[in-house]
Amino acid sequence: MEFVLEEIMSESIVLEVRNLTKHFKVGSSGKQVVHAVDNVSFRLAKGKTLGLVGESGCGKSSCARTIIRIYEPTSGRIILDGQDITELNQKALQPVRKKMQMIFQDPYASLNARMTVRDIIAEPLVAHHIVKKKDQANDWVYPMLERVGLTKEHANRYAHEFSGGQRQRVGIARALILQPDLVICDEPISALDVSIQAQVVNLLKDFQEEKGISYLFIAHDLSMVRYVSDDVGVMYLGQLVEICEADEIYKNPLHPYTKGLLGSIPIANPKLAREKEKSSIEGDIPSPINPPRGCRFHTRCPYARPVCSQEAPEMKEAGPGHMVACHLY
């Protein structure tokens, strides 16, 4: 009986995104738009991690910021814990924000340099009226600091005194102190040293096991994503081109762009590296103001066919749980 319940719980969806679209107006006339996010749909189950990868400028961060409603979505639906939050205004969003938090990419820019670490971590508590004033928050802040490997002596320090890894852990503490259901990690490790990356990722994983948090984990390299994610989605020019289980995407990448991305992961062993097929993607990412007609990847795709420049491919199931948007399948 308990087992069944757990099964249902694990299958419960924390975040569902349906046809999410975000266009930014460019210039004063507002006629041109940047297609930052186009028609992105996915689901994220409780306690799971969805990795979102793609090269710079493909709309990963815009997608994250639209989901957390810093940006207003152009169209589509965002459903958090069964509640549609797409249309809520900022005031109505306030209680919802408790359930979703964000960890930012740049640990130097994401912490206010004029605040002590205690104030930074206590800010969510004050915003959601759990404590009245920041100096009453020590009972929450100290255990959290120790939990992320810092000490309570650090509480009175200013953010600029910390190293990058320490700062990112402060950022994590701030995001997790409200015990949210969903944490959006916007490239939380890409600004850190490799040795620190593992530390931060392990910390995130520990929290997930403990509290059953779901992560939307955004990164631009596939190597770390493989380690953290249950599912991986690949984005190209604002669109989701492939999404499936993490292991599956590494063993059996279908979309030519995914193959290209995987080919770009450096391999430590030079012998293996030489044997590896050269499948790097050539050319630059096209302008998101004027995305190519048809399949957006056809300008760089080595397997492009005439149909690719005419018709946009639909997302279809190419294998069990393996969705891909490509005319080849």
Q: Which residues bind another protein (CB under 8 A)?
A: 65, 68, 70, 93-94, 97-98, 100-102, 104-106, 109-115, 119, 123-124, 126-128, 149-151, 153-154, 156-158, 160-162, 166, 171, 174
Residue pair 146/152 in contact by the 8 Å Cβ criterion: yes
**Smaller CB separation from another protein, 121 or 262:** 121
Least gap, CB of 235 to another protein (angstroms): 20
Closest CA to 176 of 218, 205, 135: 205
Q: Which residues contact 77 (CB under 8 A, 6 or more apart)?
A: 16, 17, 18, 19, 20, 84, 86
Least gap, CB of 100 to another protein (angstroms): 8
Q: How far separated are the first and last CA of the chain, in Å rounded? A: 41
Please give the structure tokens belonging to residue 90. Answer: 């900022």
Please give the structure tokens belonging to residue 300. Answer: 């760089």
Least gap, CB of 78 to another protein (angstroms): 14
Least gap, CB of 124 to another protein (angstroms): 5
**Smaller CB separation from another protein, 185 or 281:** 185
Least gap, CB of 140 to another protein (angstroms): 14
Least gap, CB of 240 to another protein (angstroms): 23
**Smaller CB separation from another protein, 70 or 289:** 70
Phi and psi, residue 180, nearest 5°: -75, 165
Least gap, CB of 196 to another protein (angstroms): 12
**Smaller CB separation from another protein, 186 or 231:** 186
Closest CA to 95 of 47, 128, 58: 128
Residue pair 233/32 in contact by the 8 Å Cβ criterion: no
Return d(Cα 265, Cα 114) in angstroms, integer.
Answer: 39
**Smaller CB separation from another protein, 103 or 222:** 103
**Smaller CB separation from another protein, 48 or 169:** 169
**Smaller CB separation from another protein, 108 or 227:** 108
Return d(Cα 187, Cα 196) in angstroms, integer.
Answer: 14
- In this structure, which long-range contacts are made by residues 152-159, counting pairs with CB atoms below 8 Å and at least 24 apart in sequence? 154/117, 155/116, 155/117, 155/118, 155/121, 156/116, 156/117, 156/118, 157/116, 157/117, 158/113, 158/114, 158/115, 158/116, 158/117, 159/111, 159/112, 159/113, 159/115, 159/117, 159/120
